[in-house]
Structure 1
Amino acid sequence: MFGSLLSKLTQPNPVPLADDDARLAITALLVRLARSDHAYGATEIDEINRILSKRYDLTRDAAAALLHEAEEIEAVAPDTVRFTNAVKDGVPLDDRMAVIEAAWSVVLADGVRTAEEDALMRMIPRFLGITDRESNEARLRAAKAMNGASI
């Protein structure tokens, strides 16, 4: 799967992603966002694992395995523009909205929003066909869910 997704990401003309490739690409995109501030720590890793478990109904071990593979993909994947275009072409709009909400959850997980994360969160929604307003609404939902979880 690793080589398959990388070859699709590097093709000049994107091809629709199969479900497994889309799942891996989305996870790698979350990893890229979490790593953007050079502070990829346990809080963000735990949040990504929580998202994967919930979104894909995975066990803890299966989520950790998917995350590990996504970390490897993210480290060698092409620029974020091609990455997000592949997700856009392979994932329906409703699912892309959920991806943006998940992305905001990762950004907010450690309680610190950095300039690097903010820059990616201005770019990623746009490349996924999500408006700034929709992204802001997703951010508010993610923040509300995080505040509700701590009560």
Structure 2
Amino acid sequence: MFENLLSYFKSPGSETPLPAADAKHALGALFVRAAKADKAYLFEEVEQIDRLLGAMYHLNPVEAAKMRASCERLEQAIPATTDLAGILREAISQTDREAAVSALWRVVFSDGVETEEEDAVLHQIEETLGVAPDVAKQLHDTEMAKMQR
């Protein structure tokens, strides 16, 4: 009986399609990947991702949350972090790649904890994006200092 009831709420083909694997969604998916790296996807991280997406793409809170939800689906569909970062690398300038790395560190630091797993994911992304290690370290340290204020 329960299955029968549920069938009324589902229509055939009602699954939400994946968003395009463009630079905006790839960056959002990387935000999600960074947040999930430590196996704890916390409210603070979700909130930070929504704030970043809203600010970067001039979205209101509802639009930002919807975009994040799309990015979560893309993050699940593309298992290789290097593939997501590669989409971004091909589409944006070096300056924008560095800004993306700063934003990724903001997501990592939003829960107040930096783990080895998060560091490993971010270093992989930095390398794929072509951000030099010394620049990446500076971006990390700058975002960490902001967090400690």
Deviations 1:75-125 (A, max 9, x none): 111311122111101111111111000011011111111111011122110
Runs of 4+, deviation exceeding 6 Å: none
SS at match of 1:40: coil
Residue 56 (structure 2) aligns with: 55
Structure 2 residue 18 is the aligned partner of structure 1 residue 2: yes
- 2:143 & 2:20 partners in 1: Cα distance? 32
Residue 41 (structure 1) aligns with: 42
Residue 141 (structure 2) aligns with: 140
Conserved in 1, the CA contact under 8 Å of 2:54 and 2:61? yes
Q: CA deviation at 1:139?
A: 1.4
Structure 2 residue 85 is the aligned partner of structure 1 residue 69: no
Residue 124 (structure 2) aligns with: 123
Structure 2 residue 74 is the aligned partner of structure 1 residue 103: no
Identity %: 32
- 1:60 & 1:147 partners in 2: Cα distance? 26
Conserved in 1, the CA contact under 8 Å of 2:26 and 2:88? yes
- 1:68 & 1:87 partners in 2: Cα distance? 19
Q: CA deviation at 1:3?
A: 5.6
Amino acid of the structure 2 residue aligned with 1:125 = E
SS at match of 1:61: helix
Question: What TM-score does the superposition give when structure 2 sets the normalisation length?
Answer: 0.83
Q: Which has the higher helix share?
A: 1
Paired residues, what number? 133
Q: Which has the larger radius of gyration?
A: 2
Alpha-carbon RMSD across the aligned residues, in angstroms, is 1.5
Question: What TM-score does the superposition give when structure 1 sets the normalisation length?
Answer: 0.82
- The 1:23/1:4 distance shift into structure 2, 3 A limit, reads closer
Residue 24 (structure 2) aligns with: 23
- 2:140 & 2:19 partners in 1: Cα distance? 33
- 1:114 & 1:92 partners in 2: Cα distance? 28
